Chains A and B, each alone.
Chain A
Amino acid sequence: MMLKNEYDVVIVGAGPGGSITAMHLAKHGLKVALLEKRQEIGTPKRCGEGLPLTATEIIKLGVPDYVIRQPINGAIVYAPSGKEVIVNMGDLAGYVVERKELDKFLAYEAAKAGAYVQAKTEVTDVIIENNYVVGVKAKYQDQEYIIKAKVVIAADGVESTIARKAGLNTTNKLIDIESGFQFEMANVKIRDPKKLELFFGKEIAGRGYLWIFPKGDGVANVGIGTAMTEKSARQLLEEWIESRPDLFSQASIIEVNAGGIPVGGLLDNMVLNGFAVVGDAAHQVNAIHGGGMHEATDAGKLLADVVAKAIENNDVSQEALSLYNKLWWEARGNKLLKVQKLREFFDKLSDDDMNMMAESLSGDDLLKMAKGSKVVGLAKILIKKPKLLLLAKHLI
């Protein structure tokens, strides 16, 4: 095997966050190993597969045609009453992608930049000496490795076990995580092949939402992200599909997937001596829509620059690496915190409240909210309902 026993940086997990971090570190001229536990990078997917154009770290690589399934120009949001708000986002807002292919494409890019990528290689533990993380123990088939590294980066997704083994508490609180369940379906009745469809309602989706993301030619990623419900995510999705024969009476199930989606609990500190965490593992997710590819890759770029600098200066202490904390909170953290507050506000809304908001808000307003910007008319709507105003006082 080509896996060596010493690298500048070892990255655990070859999702978008891990691959982008590895690619940038390799471009800085460092020796990088990117290790993936699964036998095939990208599989199984745990994702709605929406990739916004704002995820510039991925988009600027030139996403190849075989990854893109469907260009998207907006969304249709359905309130519990069925009232719809159409969000138009110009000619092109992003893509629905084949996530498995995307993950592989990003791993190819990391490899092309000079990182060494290896699948089916599980990192079982981190090695700590003198309070510094100095390497990892890994397993490939029946072979065991001890790999030394100046910096270890955990990009191991929602499980986030590596960070906890290194001594950083990244355990998800139940209130800050959603259960996701998702089918890829064929022969779905799709209203507009260029629009994502989102369905809200306490009855059908608890505090989260159901989605239909079109993948072209009647194929769609149909799923739910929810939490704090009596019923399981699977049961809610199956019941909803059953209740919508207008959309699904002819549909078949091509793929079944599940996942956990962190929607809160942003970390003030994401580094230790010789260690950092990125992506879902660091809860870097937009709490309103649950999208994480954009956040993980943006953070990955920031982290790679900080780590490269630290290694160049021969100082990988927590203090040196904490520049990543500062840069990330300035660039993304504060925005995401606002989005999280907004999500907490939405959690408290009843179906009636949501219907009323759907009546009064435009598609543009919803878009701004999801991005964490201020909505000019929001105060006006809230003032009509004193109860909402009380709930929303920390938003305005």
Chain B
Amino acid sequence: MINPDSFIYDIVEFIYFNCLCRFMSWNINNRKCLSCGACVGVCPVNALRLTEHGVEVDKNKCILCNTCATICPVKAIKVEK
């Protein structure tokens, strides 16, 4: 593993968030979503919010880690790479 304090880590992080991320996105199917909030509780960066119409993602916070998609009881969330 790369040491998080090192310069190389910064470069890798930069490439990940500025280049690779652009090819990835999440996709929430609001027809499937039952607004149960399970995804909100597991999001490690608190990027999700439960509204009356389903789940909203704060795209500035989301790190595309797929945790929400794993927990979703109805598989309404897909993180596409």
The answer to whether A258 touches B38, judged by C-beta atoms less than 8 angstroms apart, is yes
Q: Does A179 contact B (CB under 8 A)?
A: yes
Interface size class on chain B is: 20 to 34
Q: Chain B contacts of A165 at CB under 8 A?
A: 46
Q: Does A232 contact B (CB under 8 A)?
A: yes
Q: Could you give, for residues 22-49 of chain B, a 1 whenever the CB lies within 8 Å of some chain A CB and a 0 otherwise?
A: 0000000000001111111111101001
Q: Chain A contacts of B46 at CB under 8 A?
A: 161, 164-165, 171
In whole angstroms, what is the CA distance A214 to B54 when docked? 30
The answer to whether A159 touches B74, judged by C-beta atoms less than 8 angstroms apart, is no
The answer to whether A157 touches B37, judged by C-beta atoms less than 8 angstroms apart, is yes
Q: Chain A contacts of B15 at CB under 8 A?
A: none
The answer to whether B73 touches A181, judged by C-beta atoms less than 8 angstroms apart, is yes
CB distance from B73 to the nearest CB of A (A): 4
CB distance from A281 to the nearest CB of B (A): 9
Q: Which applies to chain B's interface (DSSP): helix, strand, loop or mixed? A: loop
* Chain B, residue nearest A236 (CB): B73
The answer to whether B71 touches A177, judged by C-beta atoms less than 8 angstroms apart, is yes
Which of A180, A232, A233, A260 touches B42 (beta carbons < 8 Å)?
A: A260
The answer to whether B71 touches A174, judged by C-beta atoms less than 8 angstroms apart, is yes
Q: Chain B contacts of A158 at CB under 8 A?
A: 36-38, 40-41
The answer to whether A260 touches B36, judged by C-beta atoms less than 8 angstroms apart, is yes
Q: Chain A contacts of B49 at CB under 8 A?
A: 161
The answer to whether B38 touches A232, judged by C-beta atoms less than 8 angstroms apart, is no
Q: Does A234 contact B (CB under 8 A)?
A: yes
The answer to whether B73 touches A159, judged by C-beta atoms less than 8 angstroms apart, is no
Q: Chain A contacts of B75 at CB under 8 A?
A: 232, 234-235
Q: Chain A contacts of B43 at CB under 8 A?
A: 171
Task: List residues of A (143-177) whose CB comes within 8 Å of B's CBs.
Answer: 157-161, 164-165, 171-174, 177
The answer to whether A44 touches B35, judged by C-beta atoms less than 8 angstroms apart, is yes
The answer to whether A177 touches B72, judged by C-beta atoms less than 8 angstroms apart, is no
A171-B42, A171-B46 are known contacts; what are 10 more A-B pairs with Cβ within 8 Å?
A37-B50, A46-B36, A157-B41, A158-B40, A177-B41, A179-B38, A232-B73, A232-B74, A232-B75, A260-B71
Instruction: Sample 22 A-B pairs with CB under 8 A, ordered by A number.
Output: A39-B52, A46-B36, A158-B38, A158-B40, A159-B50, A161-B40, A161-B49, A164-B46, A171-B46, A172-B41, A174-B71, A180-B38, A180-B73, A234-B73, A234-B74, A257-B36, A258-B38, A258-B74, A259-B38, A260-B36, A260-B39, A260-B41
